[in-house]
Structure formats: C-alpha cells, structure tokens
Amino acid sequence: MPTQNSHIVIVDDDAGILEAVKIILEGEGYKVTASSDGEYIETLAKNPKKPDLILLDVLLSGKDGRELCAMLKKNEVTRHIPIIMFSAHPSASTTVKKAGADAFLAKPFNIGDLLSLVEKLLKK
C-alpha cells in the first residue's frame, strides 16, 4: 500500500509513457505530478512542496536527465528525494548511478517492478 499522500513526480518527454505511468500510480493511491519538461526539475528546489519520489527519464528533449539528477542530489534541499531513472538504453544503468540515482529501470519496464521499486524507496 502506498504511503498516505505520497507525492510522485514523473518527468518523461514521451507523452504515452507519462500518461500510462501517471494513471497506474494514481490507481495505486499516489498523488502524481507529470511533466514532459526537464525545466520542472530545475525549479523543484524553489518549490515549497517537495515530492516524496521522482521518476526521471534519462534522455529528455533538450535536457539530460542524469545532469538533472546530479543537480538534485547536490542540492541540500532536494538530495533526500529518491530518484528512479529509466531509459530504453540498458547501458544507462551505470551512468545513472554515477549521477546519484537511487534506482534504474530499463524501458519497457514491468509495471509490477515499477510499483515494487516505488514502494521500496518510499519506505526508506
């Protein structure tokens, strides 16, 4: 079961994935903010309400998700937020760890794997 009122941010420039993951997570009882724009992540530190978890695509239009992840993990205000990064390139798993990601999922991912990982990281 999701932690009561857990807020998850999803950032992916693929509208299909964004919508599907949002529907699945909301169906599990999570509050979800979805964005196709990496700039949302760049403003997160200034936002008074921080999410409990972030799902972040590695390659975004005009942005590199690994750089965004590293920026969040270096910031005192956002470093505690767990980040799950995902990509269609399985080799990205190594580079996302270097960026500070807490976990990696290769696309296409199994919904059960996604939900288990989300639950695990929210319990930390």
Q: Which pair of structure tokens corresponds to residue 45? A: 């530190």
Q: Which pair of structure tokens corresponds to residue 121? A: 């990281």
Q: What is the pLDDT of residue 54?
A: 98
Question: How far apart are the C-alpha atoms of 113 and 95, rounded to whole Å?
Answer: 20
Q: What is the pLDDT of residue 117?
A: 96
User: What is the average pLDDT across 51-64?
Assistant: 92
User: What is the average pLDDT across 53-72?
Assistant: 93
- What's the Cα-to-Cα distance from 111 to each of 5, 63, 80, 90, rounded to whole Å? 20, 26, 25, 17
Element (H, E) at 6: none
Residues in the chain: 124
Global pTM value: 0.94
- The per-residue pLDDT of the chain, averaged, comes to 92
Domains defined for the chain, CATH in brackets? 7-123 (3.40.50.2300)
Those residues with Cβ within 8 angstroms of residue 24's Cβ, 6 or more apart along the chain or in another chain: 111, 114, 115
